[in-house]
Amino acid sequence: MDKPITIRRALLSVSDKTGLVELGQALADRKVELVSTGGTARTLREAGLVVKDVSDITGFPEMMDGRVKTLHPMVHGGLLSVRDNPEHAAAMEEHGIGAIDLVVVNLYPFVETVKKGAGRDDVIENIDIGGPSMVRSAAKNHEYVAIVTDPADYAALVTEMDAGVGATGYDFRKMLAAKAFAATAAYDSAISQWFAHADQGQKFPPRRSMASKIAGTLRYGENPHQEAALYLPEGPHVSGLPQAVQVQGKELSYNNYNDANAALELCAEFRDGPPTVVIVKHANPCGVATANSLEEAWDKALACDSVSAFGGIVAVNRPLNAATAEAITKIFTEVVVAPDATDEAKAVFARKKNLRLLLLADGLPDPRRAGVNQVVIAGGLLVQDRDSAAVTEADLKVVTKRAPTEQELKDCLFAWTVARHVKSNAIVYAKDGQTAGIGAGQMNRRDSARIAAAKAAEAAETYGWSEAKTVGSAVASDAFFPFADGLLSAAEAGATAVIQPGGSIRDDDVIKAADDAGLAMVFTGMRHFRH
């Protein structure tokens, strides 16, 4: 169905005045009568345009501090009337209701008001009522009315009118209506979330609605046969990869985003620490190290598992220099994430045209920030708190006869920090601020311990070390050892200290095995499963 509707009268009422005057002039040039309200009318008049007030149409002045101005049958009758319905036409004629062919509305800045920390009264006052009502009326009646809610569509509207000799086509109005309903849905979502969380303190409200807008489609999803896109939250949110500046390289894929986010989240744990490098492959860290310089940290992180690092993601907690960039580009790297980079470092990366370099304009995110994670399952949505809790040295409980040394404690906490970002079952060996071996995603903890030790042994052979870095290391387990076998595997690899949550019904057996092996072990009392 193609039903061109000539635009003869337009109602404009916008909070965001971007492009308003230009649009008003374009409409006036095309002989469209302009009807407006409050600040919008004032802006148009100051630009020399002829504007009729809504109050001239309704016969009622704006009242109650502007809360009531467009909520009137003279407005909504002009928006909702079915033009070729005889009864509607008769009602319009009887009551002197004029048709409105175009509505240009954007809403009170509710989200912006919340973001700036306004008080409750100010927030409530920025809940738009008349605007969404007009948007929904016009969108419902899109067969006859064009509704524009996004200033980015002003140019397209003018182009459409010129192509239609002053008229809009049905397909164009359908597109605008879809955007309009999405806009009001997002607006209501933001309001409902503010009431639930900020105003009422409900972590899990009876109904949960979250709005997001598309940032772009991706080449494909996890696999080429899957389609994918990136969306950005419309409410307050933390800055991360989507807000980073991509300096160079191919567009980011679904897997790039997922893996780079895993690297960023782990690197953020060290944002206030010494120079740190994180290397991730398939969302699991394969090497993490801190050192006196980024270049040294890179060498130590790479040494943990240079095989898995090929084609990996790198995140650092300091601005990149040329020396570190040279080191990173010696192997194939998909993505590098950093707070910044020197011009010399950028020039080095530029030699690798496909490598994506992302610079974080707002720095690394706060690893302890509040928030929720969500996972879609068949028939539902799982929502939980972010795993933002952490332990300090003061939280640790020594459970073995031998207490860990100062260096062992440092290694335990380093290994524990990394382990919380490794897929369960997770085992991480660490020594002197460097991961020695990482075992991820196994069905039992013993196998994770053995795999991590095997990787450490392979690294020692590759680099010609006299022994694996697991000798004299600390080992972290993301959850308790249900049996002593995993702990004994770590002892066989040369670990001398253990950090784990504790809480197994066999804790006594595991502690005895640690004592018999001469290990020092501490309990955190906190588990960090990651699925």
Angle, in degrees to the nearest 10, between helices 73-80 and 86-95: 150
% residues pLDDT > 90 (the chain): 83
Task: Return the pLDDT at 77.
Answer: 79
Task: Return the pLDDT at 84.
Answer: 82
Q: What is the mean pLDDT of the segment spanning 283-307?
A: 97
Tell how strand 312-316 and strand 276-281 pair up: antiparallel
Going by pLDDT thresholds of 50, 70 and 90, the confidence category of residue 98 is: confident
Distance, in Å, from the CA atom of 107 to the CA atom of 127, rounded to the nearest integer, reads 8
Q: What is the spatial order of strands in the sheet that 146-148 belongs to?
A: 52-53, 33-36, 9-14, 102-106, 146-148
Q: What is the mean pLDDT of the segment spanning 258-278?
A: 97
DSSP β-bridge partners for residue 377: 380
The alpha-helical segments, DSSP class H, found in 464-503 are: 484-492
Task: Return the pLDDT at 82.
Answer: 85
Listed range (62-76, 174-188, 340-354, 360-374) with the worst mean pLDDT? 62-76
Indicate whether 190 pLDDT > 80.
yes
Kindly write down the DSSP assignment for every residue of 179-229, as one continuous string.
HHHHHHHHHHHHHHHIIIIIIT--SS-SS----EEEEEE-S-SSSTTS--E
Task: Return the pLDDT at 517.
Answer: 96
- Helix (H) / strand (E) element for 506: namely none
- Distances from the Cα of 448 to the Cαs of 93, 444, 506, in angstroms? 79, 7, 19
Distance, in Å, from the CA atom of 279 to the CA atom of 274, rounded to the nearest integer, reads 16
Task: Return the pLDDT at 43.
Answer: 96
Residue 77 tokens read as: 């009758």
Contact 253, 347 (CB under 8 A): no
Indicate whether 62 pLDDT > 70.
no
Going by pLDDT thresholds of 50, 70 and 90, the confidence category of residue 12 is: very high
Residue 305 tokens read as: 């598992």
Contact 225, 231 (CB under 8 A): no
Q: Tell me which residue has tokens 């020692």.
A: 460
Indicate whether 71 pLDDT > 70.
no
Distance, in Å, from the CA atom of 138 to the CA atom of 210, rounded to the nearest integer, reads 24
Task: Return the pLDDT at 163.
Answer: 93
Q: Which residues contact 399 (CB under 8 A, 6 or more apart)?
A: 502, 507, 511, 514, 521, 522, 523
The tens digit of pLDDT for each residue in 463-503 reads 999 999 999 999 999 999 999 999 999 999 999 999 999 99
Task: Return the pLDDT at 154.
Answer: 97
Going by pLDDT thresholds of 50, 70 and 90, the confidence category of residue 65 is: low
Residue 489 tokens read as: 């595997």
Indicate whether 270 pLDDT > 80.
yes
Contact 159, 168 (CB under 8 A): no
Tell how strand 212-217 and strand 229-233 pair up: antiparallel
Residue 215 tokens read as: 């940032």
For all residues of the chain together, what is the average pLDDT? 93
Catalytic residue annotation: 140, 282
Indicate whether 401 pLDDT > 90.
yes
**Residues constituting the chain:** 531
Is the backbone peptide bond immediately before 261 cis, with ω within 30 degrees of 0? Answer: no
Indicate whether 1 pLDDT > 80.
no
For 389-423, what is the HEC assignment? CCCCHHHCEECCCECCCHHHHHHHHHHHHHHCCCC
